[in-house]
Structure 1
């Protein structure tokens, strides 16, 4: 009888020890599952999960003007084109272009502009960050958020094979002029009207926005006022890059203010 009792006691002890071992294993298994799930969640960064390509607009605070109207277009090849319009200031429009770099966390980008401007990339938003890479806080925080525009890149007007009418030259509005320029994809030919005479030549594009015009030839007709034409020819000699913003195109020298502003026409 005593032997039977000892046998039952030993069996109960074995069962109890087995249950305790199972209970100890379960938390470890659960922890492993949580760790695996956390790693999956962390892999969904702005770079990999958001549709960040597109055009963003907003008006930033300005200490000595009415505001800085900023437009930034980010492209799939990780290049950008930006335009700053200092509202209320004469000749207050500045363009920049270059590349974006995704920072280590995959949530922020940095532009290759002079200031190394950083943005937090959100759902249809770009939030400009301070120099330390942090979001601006306080009453003006909302003004640092640029919102994505509805127009898609599919509807963007192409630089080539478009007639660009001259609207502004050396910072001055141009009216009652037939001046235009067009860049044909066929044989990389550039042609147009300078205000009095027609012109043609060739062009090359590098790094998406770098432009070089060459072999420009014009007709030799004389007109009463050659001011627009002379300045237009000067622009063709100086321009080394271009930028696009909707139906507007600019010819520029380095990162200075646009030499000439054009609008697309049918």
Structure 2
């Protein structure tokens, strides 16, 4: 009976963790892309590829600009619904909206009070 209760407790805790955190690293793995607002150009074409080993590749291209795309590689972690990206001293956050959408969230906070689109969608 004790063994059955222990197993049941483990199952309940595991289910609670899955419900609380939504997606696992393998579910989040893949490529998200979109065009984010840009102060001095028509948009910032952004592509982020999540790898299941906790690494990422990001390519940012300024639209209608001669500037070369910026490539960033690093690691990412998911804590509840905030994804924190780290590449050396460079850190930034996105909020996990769903398995198919992430939204830029500087400092872990969503941008509010604007109609601008800060989301990237899964390819």
TM-score (norm 2): 0.76
Cα distance change, pair 99–42 in 1 and its aligned pair in 2 (3 A): closer
Residue of 14, 26, 39 corresponding to 1:63: 39
Residue of 112, 115, 118 corresponding to 1:140: 115
Residue of 94, 113, 119 corresponding to 1:119: 94
2:74 equivalent to 1:98: yes
Q: Which has the higher contact order (CA 8 A, sep 6+)?
A: 2
Residue of 82, 105, 113 corresponding to 1:108: 82
For the Cα contact (< 8 Å) 1:50–1:123, is it kept in 2? no
SS across alignment from 2:91:
coil
- How far does residue 140 in structure 1 lie from its aligned partner after superposition? 3.3
Q: What are the equivalent positions in structure 2 for 1:145-224 lying under 5 Å apart?
A: 145-149=119-123
Aligned residues: 108
> Matches of 1:99 and 1:144 in 2, distance apart?
21
- Stretches of structure 1 lacking an aligned partner (at least 5 in a row): 1-36, 150-266
- How far does residue 117 in structure 1 lie from its aligned partner after superposition? 1.1
Structure whose alpha-carbon radius of gyration is higher: 1
Cα distance change, pair 124–41 in 1 and its aligned pair in 2 (3 A): same
Q: Which has the higher strand share?
A: 2
- Alpha-carbon RMSD across the aligned residues, in angstroms, is 2.3
SS across alignment from 2:111:
coil
Residue of 52, 62, 73 corresponding to 1:86: 62
TM-score (norm 1): 0.37
> Matches of 1:126 and 1:137 in 2, distance apart?
15
- Stretches of structure 2 lacking an aligned partner (at least 5 in a row): 1-11
